[in-house]
Amino acid sequence: MKILGIETSCDETAAAVVEDSRILSDVIASQIDIHAKYGGVVPELASREHLKKLNLITEECLANAGLGFRDIDGIAVTSNPGLEGSLLVGLTAARTLSYILKVPLAEVDHLESHLFASAFTGIGKPPGLGLVVSGGHTRLVHIREWGRYEVLGDTRDDAAGECFDKVASVLGLPYPGGPSVEKAALSGSRGAYRFPVSDLGGSYDFSYSGLKTAVLYKIKYDLQGKLDGKTVCDIAAAFQEAALKPLVDNTLRAASECGAGWIFVCGGVAASGRLRELFGERAGKNVFFPDKRLCTDNAAMVAACGEFYLQRR
């Protein structure tokens, strides 16, 4: 089945065609430049931009695969969670196309779609463990089988990616924060500062608001707002360690307790080279990541998720 995937849940307008877990075409238009000057995504601007771009992106995506609309066997679209107005743009387009082309439609969950980025990695069959770690979510999921999940842990406050974005902003680093903190951290010393590492006892939950506040207080009170280049890099390096450690700790503890054969780490923060390094050091070959391009929001993962549900009908 050739599935056209559509993703507009946040600040990426994306379309992809997937067939039997193979990507035939994958186009992503990021809105980073539009939102960067505000230090975060402005919902109204995001939905307007999706409205402007989605038709063009979809046509480009089909053309790249050498396909026309009539070659599509099914449509998948992100239905939730996400920014209301942005979701509505993708949903309206997908429902209209499904109606006109007379092909089935799968309206899929955004977090489940991130897990389906594993379809392109050659990962084995479930049971396994998924860590979805993005700008909006930090969720640990026991994947009993595809379509049957148990949520083991969630964030109690901020998501990990959101924390990277906020810390980058107080450090004066550009949005999105994850990549810019990672870049600054490469020139910093991890041991220069000690920030609190979230530890919620026996729970698999995560918490990031304390860490965010600790960095803010360090800058505002201890350093009196004086941030030179070296200090920024040192804080970035120390913060990054404190932010990533609970992700690895909770995931590895859950994996051994539920006997998961593999671990799949996805979502925007999974693009972090340092996170990949930490998992590699502590867990070796059983940890899988999507290609960096497929960590942040994309439509190939949406199409893969839709393909699973449409084939099951």
| Single residue of 74, 126, 130, 135 touching ligand KG4 by CB under 6 A | 135
Could you tell me the sign of the dihedral formed by the alpha carbons of 201, 160, 183, 227, in that order? negative
State the pairing for strand pair 2-7/12-19.
Answer: antiparallel
| Single residue of 108, 296, 303, 304 touching ligand KG4 by CB under 6 A | 296
- Contact present, 143 and 149 (Cβ < 8 Å): yes
H-type alpha helices, the chain = 32-36, 43-64, 84-101, 110-116, 160-171, 177-185, 209-217, 229-258, 273-283, 300-312
By CB under 6 A, residue 10 contacts ligand KG4: yes
**Does the N-terminal peptide bond of residue 176 adopt cis geometry, omega within 30 degrees of 0?**
yes
Q: How many CB atoms lie within 10 A of CB 214?
A: 17
| Single residue of 164, 208, 288, 289 touching ligand KG4 by CB under 6 A | 164
How open is the CA angle 130-138-192, to the nearest 5 degrees? 110
- Select 165 or 297, whichever has its Cβ closest to Zn ion: 297
Binding mask 196-225 for ligand KG4 (x = CB under 6 A): ------------------------------
| Single residue of 49, 165, 234, 241 touching ligand KG4 by CB under 6 A | 165
Q: How far is CA 266 from CA 55, 184, 191, in A?
A: 27, 22, 27
Q: How far is the CB of 267 from Zn ion (least distance, A)?
A: 6
By CB under 6 A, residue 246 contacts ligand KG4: no
Nearest to 15 by CA among 310, 298, 304, 309: 298
- Select 112 or 297, whichever has its Cβ closest to ligand KG4: 297
Q: How far is the CB of 133 from Zn ion (least distance, A)?
A: 10
By CB under 6 A, residue 112 contacts ligand KG4: no
Stretch binding ligand KG4 (CB under 6 A), from 122-130, 142-150, 178-186, 217-225: 178-186
Q: How many CB atoms lie within 10 A of CB 269?
A: 28
By CB under 6 A, residue 120 contacts ligand KG4: no
Task: Kindly identify the residues of this chain, within the stretch 271-310, that bind Zn ion according to CB under 5 A.
Answer: 297
Binding mask 47-86 for ligand KG4 (x = CB under 6 A): ----------------------------------------
Residue given tokens 């026309």 in the structure block: 68
> What is the SS3 assignment for 295?
coil
Task: Kindly identify the residues of this chain, within the stretch 252-281, that bind ligand KG4 according to CB under 6 A.
Answer: 267-269, 271-272
Residues 265, 285: Cα–Cα separation, whole Å = 13
By CB under 6 A, residue 179 contacts ligand KG4: yes
- Contact present, 181 and 171 (Cβ < 8 Å): yes
Q: How far is the CB of 175 from ligand KG4 (least distance, A)?
A: 8
By CB under 6 A, residue 26 contacts ligand KG4: no
| Residue ranges in contact with Zn ion by CB under 5 A | 134, 297
| Residue ranges in contact with ligand KG4 by CB under 6 A | 10, 134-136, 161-162, 164-165, 176-179, 182, 267-269, 271-272, 296-297
